[in-house]
Amino acid sequence: MKVIRDPQKLGRLIKEVKRKGKSVGFVPTMGALHAGHLSLIKEARKENDFVAASIFVNPAQFGPAEDLKKYPRPLKNDLLLCRKQKVDLVFLPDQQAMYPQGFVTYVNVEELSNRLCGLSRPGHFRGVATVVAKLLNLIGPDRLYLGQKDAQQAIIVQRMVKDLNFPVKLRVLPTVRQEGGLALSSRNVYLNASQKPQATVLFKALSLARSLIDQGQTNAERIIRRMKELIARKKEARIDYVAIVDLEKLNPVKKIDQDCLICLAVKIGKTRLIDNLVITHEKN
């Protein structure tokens, strides 16, 4: 496994890989790898001749009051995990390599970036879209692997890929959860022993929505109200948003009569967690 920090060196290696006609799968991450990341890597390994992963805690997607400094960076273990999964290349740039002095060019996926998580994290998706665009240009993969856990991110990247004609196929893979339903996240390490059980309330709220829909409830507002009531019972839970939106524009839906995304962001103590569920509507 090659670990490369320099974008130019990366370019030379990728050129060589492509010259040999190998297909390239790419998994971008911010490190602190867990089974969610590994599921993406495993799928990439299955579907491509060459697997590249990146580990870069992207400052452009963190707000000034967010956790950029304290974001976990267990690099040694991350590299070990990548090696185990037979990753061919880990791109490990530093801030200077990605945003050299004078950097002023950003990708803004309009409309989609200002909703849901974008409301409480202004600039976040501009940072995400910019870094993903840069990484796609540097690596030029055939397939890009993202997790459904970050549903808005996947929808925004899909839009960007289409709008800017990136020649890549996006693969979005299911959310990996731990026992009790909590979606794996690098930020779960911030939760203390009393917060961990409270954090399962996101999954419980989604499960409640699922069962209400299965019982025939189609009124989005009522479903959201029930979800909020459930979450409010947890002592340290503060709701950022609970929303039911369409899958393309992320506009709120009133009636569950189409495919939609039920999504939420909840702070448990100081830790902001997100989760979501896609509802596919069967047409009779």
Question: Would you state the torsion angle of the CA atoms of residues 166, 168, 174, 178, taken in this order, to the nearest 10 degrees?
Answer: -80
Minimum distance, C-beta of residue 284 to ligand AMP, in the bound complex (Å): 32
Q: Which of 17, 37, 260, 265 binds ligand AMP (CB under 6 A)?
A: 37
CA angle, corner 34, sides to 148 and 173, nearest 5? 20
Minimum distance, C-beta of residue 148 to ligand AMP, in the bound complex (Å): 6
**β-sheet with 50-55: strand ranges across:** 2-4, 89-91, 50-55, 24-29, 143-147, 169-173
Interaction of residue 185 with ligand AMP, rule CB under 6 A: yes
Interaction of residue 45 with ligand AMP, rule CB under 6 A: no
Interaction of residue 115 with ligand AMP, rule CB under 6 A: no
Interaction of residue 277 with ligand AMP, rule CB under 6 A: no
Kindly tell me which of 59 and 218 has the beta carbon lying closer to ligand AMP.
Answer: 59
Kindly tell me which of 53 and 242 has the beta carbon lying closer to ligand AMP.
Answer: 53
Select the span of 41-49, 68-76, 182-190, 226-234 touching ligand AMP (CB under 6 A): 182-190
Stated as kind and residue range, the H or E segment containing 275 is: strand 271-279
The DSSP code for 113 is G
Structure token digits, residue 58: 């992207």
Kindly tell me which of 109 and 256 has the beta carbon lying closer to ligand AMP.
Answer: 109
The verdict on whether 37 is a catalytic residue reads yes
Q: Which of 30, 160, 199, 260 binds ligand AMP (CB under 6 A)?
A: 30
Kindly tell me which of 146 and 209 has the beta carbon lying closer to ligand AMP.
Answer: 146
Select the span of 12-20, 30-38, 163-171, 276-284 touching ligand AMP (CB under 6 A): 30-38
Structure token digits, residue 215: 């019982």
Interaction of residue 245 with ligand AMP, rule CB under 6 A: no
Structure token digits, residue 283: 């047409």
Structure token digits, residue 163: 């709008």
Kindly tell me which of 28 and 140 has the beta carbon lying closer to ligand AMP.
Answer: 28
Angle between helices 151-163 and 124-139 (to 10 degrees): 50
- Backbone φ and ψ of 81, nearest 5°: -65, -40
State whether residue 203 is helix, strand or coil.
helix
Stated as kind and residue range, the H or E segment containing 245 is: strand 237-246
- Backbone φ and ψ of 280, nearest 5°: -100, 130
Which position's Cβ is nearest ligand AMP? 147
Q: Which positions lie near ligand AMP, rule CB under 6 A?
A: 29-30, 36-37, 39-40, 146-147, 149-150, 173, 175-176, 183-186
Q: Which residues are catalytic?
A: 37
